[in-house]
Chain A
Amino acid sequence: MEDKFTTKAYLEMELLRFTTAGSVDDGKSTLIGRLLYDSKSIFEDQLEAVKRASIRKGNEVINLALLTDGLRAEREQGITIDVAYRYFATPKRKFIIADTPGHVQYTRNMVTGASTANAALILIDARNGVTEQTYRHSYIASLLQIPHLIICVNKMDLMHYNEEVYEKIKHDFGAFAAKLDVKDIQFVPISALNGDNVVEKLDNMPWYEGGTLRYILENIYVASDHNHIDPRFPVQYVIRPISKKYHDYRGYAGRVAGGVFHKGEKVMVLPSGFITTLEAIDFDESEINEAFPPMSVTFRLSDDLDISRGDMIVRENNVPETGQDIEVMMCWMSDKPLVPGMKYYLRHTTAEVRAMIKEIVYKVNVNTLEHVPDGKELRMNEIGLVRLRTTKPLYYDSYRRNRTTGSIILIEEGTFNTVGVGMIV
């Protein structure tokens, strides 16, 4: 029996969330299928179902895309409509893949998949080299502050495993990458179809000295992806048992969004600005000494203060920015364009306020990264710098500094749809 599923080993596993982006026909489904299959995460009944469906559709080979296309409409039309989440584990790590479709509403879907990812896999077809879509996908990964980019140069088999082809793509991408804001970029030449450098090295590319894709995924350094510097605790829910045993208990439940909180230290509560002591950190039935992201815990404070959902607990000498006039990089997700003067509900951590759009400063051409001055409107799948004003002050950090306290969503009045998502600059 494989020892990897003993609980001790299982407990030492880390979680890596990654997103995959590619254009139509660049072999993304094949690659995901291979990662899942080679890690034994595809089961016989799933494979049988895909085989049956492939034959019925008249496909000559097993169409692994059918494995990821979960909706009837997707299978019928042969397209992927929405982000699908996939899971697999190796003895070292547990993986969550946000598989985002390459064509329909690409920006909306990719931004969604990227929002929770530590790493992005970007596929390049070795025959086509770096294309506009490569730029677009990389830009979105950079905008969403995904710390690690893995550029998979796929279909190397169709280019005779030629090193120069790979080097040229690396070089072309490097020129563009200088404009991006990404901490870590790695390249790997692969053939998803044959399996070269996906899980095993095989013999076709002796010139490649790096690790396989799976090795890279298992070894990316994720421990520093959270902000451990600026203590931020958005209050989510107030726990008051009103029972005999816990008559005076008042706990502030939430998930640590940044920094490390220590029992007994001085903390500041926003918006009131009161300074108090973090008396205890409760988790389940026990007390703990420290809390760090992404832990869900309950804080008890030594003073009785008026604190409710949407407030934030921070440290006196490290407070977030405060303000009602906010600039965000906005990605628009609705058929109805964003225009200055419109009002929306705005959600930021656990707070909700209303917001009015003041100005569209510029739009970004996601293929060239050029700023296009166009103040009229931001349409579906467009990205631009937007100024807005909120009814009440927000306590925020720049998205670059903290992905939790630096992100917002806009909700349309009337339909209550989520229409826009923003990263505070």
Chain B
Amino acid sequence: MTDLQKKYNLNHLRELESESIFVMREVAAQFERPALLFSGGKDSIVMVHLAKKAFWPAKIPFPLMHIDTGHNFIETMIFRDELVKKLGAELIVGSVQESIDNGRVVEETGFDASRNLLQTVTLLDTLTRYKIDAALGGGRRDEEKARAKERFFSHRDEFGQWDPKNQRPELWNIFNSKKRVGEHFRVFPLSNWTEMDIWQYIYLDNIDIPNLYFTHERQVFKRDGAWLADAPFMKKRESEKVVTMRIRCRTIGDISCTGLTVSEASTLEDIIQEIAAVRVTERGGRADDLRSESAMEDRKKEGYF
């Protein structure tokens, strides 16, 4: 390769970055009231970072929206509030507890109870309440087999449902945002990123992430081969003894379904080496996906993230 050709060639991380920025600008241009779904996890943090780049020197032209299960790691909440303050962004919170109190959903009971499924109702209610017509999500196609079929611009009917068998064709980088009253879109700017891309990019751009991703001591117990964090609302069986371990989060979700990794990784370099060597997917520890072979597809059809 000659220098000139090399000069006009983007490396793959910058190409992915450019693609994601393009998608976010399309959302700002094509929709009236978009929102960025923010969970406090690394993917949504990278989304915020990209949105900041896409619209600089203007502020991000849409609010962040957090669907709060009430079962979050406290570190996630602190991180969220600091980030919002730093950006001067608007934050919308949809509360699952409120949905329970209003009788919109019924809390699951038993040992494996989780508020993961209930989030869908809260999410759809919050989108309706704020008249959001495009919700930007940090979902990636490499995460899960149903997600591998997802479009960048993913249409949702008036019930918030996804119809995976009948998706609009999506070609080149022309995105069709047209919809009827009451319908909305989910948009996934990180579609083509992999877990490794996300970590390398966080390292490259020196992006702040919650300490939960690095090794720390925590009270945990083992269930179905996975380590879960202890918390007052986590109902434990007789046999599930709480111990102190050095662990870290590979993904961050609601406490009830976030499997923890026993790890000594204390820097981003350590994490990257750990991810390179690991032989299970990052969602392998997610109790929400292990419920059935089609757990993700079924939730997505109902309107999940």
Contacts and interface: CB of A to CB of B under 8 A. Distances in A.
Interface of A: 1-2, 4-7, 10-15, 43-46, 49, 53, 67-73, 75, 81-87, 89, 93-94, 96, 108, 111-112, 115-116, 221, 223-224, 226, 228, 236-237, 239-243, 245-246, 249, 253-255, 260, 282-285, 292, 294-296, 298, 309, 333, 345, 347-350, 403-404, 407-409, 411, 416-418, 421
Contact of B192 (A45, A85, A93): A85
Nearest to B273: A1
Contact of B281 (A45, A53, A85, A254): A45
Interface stretch (B10-18, B35-43, B75-83, B241-249): B10-18
Nearest to B1: A223
Contacts of A260: 8
Contacts of B164: 71, 82
Contacts of A254: 25
Q: Which of A84, A226, A242, A407: most chain B CB closer than 10 A? A: A84
Contacts of A409: 171, 174, 176
Given A243-B57, A255-B18, A404-B172, A96 B192 contact: yes
A407 B149 contact: no
Contact of B168 (A2, A10, A81, A417): A417
Interface string B129-152: 000000000000110111111000
Nearest to B284: A45
Contact of B146 (A70, A89, A221, A350): A70
A112 B293 contact: no
B281 A421 contact: no
B191 interface: yes
B178 interface: yes
A350 B29 CA distance: 9
B11 A12 contact: yes
B248 to A, nearest CB: 18
Contacts of B297: 70-72
Contacts of A237: 25, 28-29
B56 interface: yes
Interface in B259-279: 272-273, 275-279
B11 A294 contact: no
B9 interface: yes
B11 A72 contact: no
B165 interface: yes
15 contacts: A6-B272, A11-B200, A70-B149, A82-B164, A111-B169, A112-B171, A115-B172, A237-B25, A253-B54, A292-B8, A298-B56, A404-B172, A404-B173, A418-B170, A418-B176
A242 B58 CA distance: 8
Given A53-B293, A223-B5, A411-B178, A71 B53 contact: no
B204 A5 contact: no
Contacts of B142: 86-87
Contacts of A403: 172
B176 A84 contact: no
A294 B5 CA distance: 14
B169 A49 contact: no
B203 interface: yes
A136 B281 CA distance: 37
Given A245-B57, A294-B18, A70 B148 contact: yes
Nearest to B294: A72
B104 interface: no
A228 B169 contact: no
Q: Top 7 closest A-B pairs, CB basis?
A: A70-B145, A416-B178, A15-B12, A241-B58, A115-B171, A5-B276, A296-B21
Contacts of A243: 57-59
A408 B272 CA distance: 41
B140 to A, nearest CB: 9
A356 B26 CA distance: 25
Nearest to A242: B58
Interface string B270-305: 001101111111001000000001100110000000
A333 B178 CA distance: 17
Nearest to A226: B8
Contacts of B272: 5-7
A282 B53 CA distance: 10
Contacts of B59: 241, 243
A421 B170 CA distance: 9
A105 to B, nearest CB: 9
A270 to B, nearest CB: 18
Contact of B169 (A112, A295, A296, A348): A112
B57 A84 contact: no
Given A7-B204, A10-B200, A71 B171 contact: no
B201 to A, nearest CB: 9
A210 to B, nearest CB: 21
B5 A75 contact: no
A159 to B, nearest CB: 33
Nearest to A46: B281
A218 B110 CA distance: 52
Contacts of B29: 236-237, 309, 350
Contacts of B171: 111-112, 115-116, 407, 409, 418, 421
B194 interface: yes
Contacts of A228: 8
Given A53-B293, A236-B29, 13 more contacts: A7-B272, A13-B11, A43-B279, A70-B145, A72-B293, A240-B58, A246-B57, A246-B58, A294-B19, A349-B174, A350-B29, A404-B173, A411-B178
Nearest to A47: B279
B293 A255 contact: no
Given A7-B203, A46-B281, A255-B173, A416 B180 contact: yes
A78 B228 CA distance: 36
A116 B53 contact: no
Contact of A44 (B147, B167, B275, B279): B279
A292 B194 CA distance: 25
A407 B178 contact: no
B179 interface: yes
A11 B234 CA distance: 42
A370 B148 CA distance: 36
B143 to A, nearest CB: 10
B49 to A, nearest CB: 10
B174 A84 contact: no
B25 A44 contact: no
